[in-house]
Amino acid sequence: MVQDIISIRDLEKADIENALLTAADMERFAEKGTTMAQGKILSTLFFEPSTRTMMSFQSAMNRLGGKVIGFSDIKSISVQKGETLSDTVRMMEQYSDIIVIRHPLEGSARLAAEVADVPVINAGDGANQHPTQTLLDLYTIKKEFDTIDGLTIALMGDLKYGRTVHSLAYALSLYDVELVFVSPRELRMPHEVTEHLKEKKTPYREVVNLEDIPKVDLVYATRIQKERFADPNEYERTKDAYRIDKSSIRLLGDARIMHPLPRVSEIAPEIDKTPNALYFEQAGNGIPVRMALLSMLMGVNR
């Protein structure tokens, strides 16, 4: 059993499966709660704001019966006076049984885990890792299809800079899946990820257009950000080309649609009530998954 959740790279398939099973077990407490974490305190150290992620952790800890302290941006604490991350972590661990950290610098969560004696969960370290997002993505897939093995999964949008899709591709390579990468040429999946897939013998193919997506079980759409484009017209064209709406959804058959949210225009609101839409459920799955991780790391889940 791992002591911290810092990077999807640290996790073996058995760790992931164990977390997903525990998350399924947490569903029964997800509504009325439990007292298993009574007397425990979670510190949320958010050095950059991410309201959704923080609230999801707060909600999970509350459902477990524990309490939450912390800060949601650095202006409120002494960090701006030049205190090191290590010192902030050493101080906060005196106040709590587990730490969740989000920080703009890459590798910050790893450092925090090395400094702290209490367990640390990475809620995003810059463009590097956000492992609880990946775990809730896997959990959503497993819950919907009862299995991850045997699925064909398309990852669509900004595959070059998207941390979420890199981690997801990495995690999916532990399973028996086929991947389809759908992106404009400028935003293709990085070499490092495709090399890894080759090593793991995970079949993948790359297509440019939404129309070229073969029959898949799932489309994981991600945000296409304006700042990635030098030419604003190019951005507009790209954004429209990958938009899932009433007309393009026909090309995808009954494929389920996931998205890490918030969306901009990648998925039209008219899709929300179709059986394809899985993204709100996906966001909700953050609660049992984070309950599972918090309780496992604190050792209170039995």
Partner 1 sequence: MSKKKLKVSAIRNGTVIDHIRPGKAFSVVKILHLDETDETVTITSRVASKVSGTKDIVKIEDRELLTEEVSSIALISPEATVNIIKEYEVIDKRNVRLPDTIENILPCSNPVCITNHEPVVTVFRVERSRPIVLRCHYCERTMQEKDVVKVLG
- The residues carrying an active-site annotation are 52-53, 81, 102, 130
Binding segment for partner 1 among 62-70, 121-129, 244-252, 265-273 (CB under 8 A)?
121-129
Element (H, E) at 210: none
Closest CA to 109 of 129, 92, 93: 129
Binding segment for partner 1 among 43-51, 92-100, 108-116, 131-139 (CB under 8 A)?
108-116
Closest CA to 185 of 221, 234, 137: 234
Smaller CB separation from partner 1, 165 or 244: 165
Does residue 122 interact with partner 1 by CB under 8 A? no
CA quadruple 222, 226, 227, 228: dihedral sign: positive
Among 91, 105, 208, 264, the residue binding partner 1 under the rule CB under 8 A is 105
Among 43, 53, 96, 129, the residue binding partner 1 under the rule CB under 8 A is 129
Cα dist from 112 to 7, 89, 205, 213, 242, whole Å:
13, 6, 38, 41, 38
Among 24, 62, 107, 161, the residue binding partner 1 under the rule CB under 8 A is 107
Please provide the distance, in angstroms rounded to a whole number, between the alpha carbons at the two ends of the chain: 15
Does residue 85 interact with partner 1 by CB under 8 A? yes
- Cα separation, 147 vs 144, in Å, equals 8
Closest CA to 133 of 167, 107, 101, 161: 167
Among 49, 104, 203, 269, the residue binding partner 1 under the rule CB under 8 A is 104
Smaller CB separation from partner 1, 41 or 77: 77
The SS3 of residue 175 is coil
Does residue 146 interact with partner 1 by CB under 8 A? no
Smaller CB separation from partner 1, 9 or 200: 9
Q: Within positions 184 to 243, which residues make up the interface with partner 1, using CB under 8 A? A: 192
Q: Where are the alpha helices (H) located in 146-285, listed in sequence order?
A: 163-172, 191-199, 232-241, 246-249, 279-284
CB of 46 to partner 1, least distance (A): 16
Binding segment for partner 1 among 30-38, 84-92, 179-187, 220-228 (CB under 8 A)?
84-92
How many CB atoms neighbour CB 24 within 10 A? 15
String of DSSP letters for 230-247: SSHHHHHHHHHHT-B-HH
CB of 185 to partner 1, least distance (A): 23
Reply yes or no: is the peptide bond before residue 262 cis, omega within 30 of 0: yes
Smaller CB separation from partner 1, 124 or 184: 124
Size of the site for partner 1 (CB under 8 A): 19
Does residue 12 interact with partner 1 by CB under 8 A? no
CB of 4 to partner 1, least distance (A): 14
* Residues that bind partner 1 in the complex, under the rule CB under 8 A: 7, 9, 84-86, 103-108, 110-111, 125-129, 192
